[in-house]
Amino acid sequence: MLLALDTGNSDTTIGLWSGTKWLHIWRIPTKPDQPELFYGIKLRDYFFEANVEVTKIERIVLSSVVPALTDKLTGVIEILLGKKPIILGPAIYDQLPIKVLNPYEIGSDLVSNAIAAYEHYKSTCIAVDFGTALTFTTLSSTGKILGVSIAPGLKTAITSLTQNTAKLFDVPLRMPVSALGTSTITAIQSGILFGYNGLVQSMVNEIRKELKADCPVIATGGLSSIITPLHDFFDRVDPDLTLNGLRIVGETLKGDG
């Protein structure tokens, strides 16, 4: 089995791969100030509840865009599993099946997305990730990352808007039936969700225009299904794209464990 950990700014997603499918996917809120023990107990409990024999976990791959957590999670993994994880970062980028642009600037989660997207299409493509940030990662037909575009994520946009209004509202991320908001909540939903529908389509079309290619688009992230008008716009939606990229890394490289 292979264990993949994707530590983002909001959540740490943990996937257990059997060799043919994801057996379990767990999520822990990303809390950099918590000690190793917090994550160790969480992992141990997940394994126990799922009846996972840790001795059968042969490979561990870690992606982290939160430096304060990287060492903590590495320590937890070594204690619980007795193996060192493969850490997705600049030290191993030259061993990957893609070429990474600006290795010390790009987030490892975007690299993982790119790996999985290129593995699927083997051609020029765009990976759109609806996470804390909304990101567009574009690859060439030879697997080179050509560039990345970043905008605030859906939750980030709504939080920013509601925190700076005179009255605070709990605005659910739900597509409104009309672009004409008739209340504060539906007005915010309309502006953000219909607005982001246009943002995503415009961004993708601009990238395609520059590439002079009608390349496929694959979407991921927990919020990738929220904007319903985009369902037919995307060529594929893979909620586990980042984990699949880490799986490919684990299957391609040899770890220290």
Rounded to an integer, the average pLDDT of 221-236 is: 89
* Overall pTM surpassing 0.85 (yes/no): yes
Looking at the predicted structure, is the pLDDT value of residue 226 above 90?
A: no
User: In the prediction, which pLDDT does 14 show?
Assistant: 96
Highest mean pLDDT among 8-12, 79-83, 146-150: 146-150
Structural domains for the chain: 2-87 (3.30.420.40), 96-239 (3.30.420.40)
What is the pLDDT, as a whole number, of residue 92? 96
- Give the mean model confidence (pLDDT) for residues 77-100: 95
Q: Where residue 67 falls among pLDDT bands split at 50, 70, 90? A: very high
**pLDDT confidence bin for 224, thresholds 50/70/90:** confident
Residues classed as catalytic: 109
Q: Which residues of 171-207 are buried (b: 16+ CB within 10 A; e: fewer)?
A: beeeebeeeeeeeebbebbbbbbbebbeebeebbeeb
CA distance 143 to 124: 7
Query: Of the spans 115-129, 182-196, 218-232, which averages the highest pLDDT?
Result: 115-129
pLDDT of residue 4: 97
Beta-ladder partners of 151: 134
How confident is residue 257, by pLDDT bands cut at 50, 70 and 90? Answer: very low
The pLDDT confidence band at residue 256, using thresholds 50, 70 and 90, is very low
The pLDDT of residue 255 is 47
Say what the pLDDT of residue 165 is. 63
Positive or negative torsion for Cα 228, 247, 126, 104: positive
pLDDT at residue 188 is higher than 50: yes
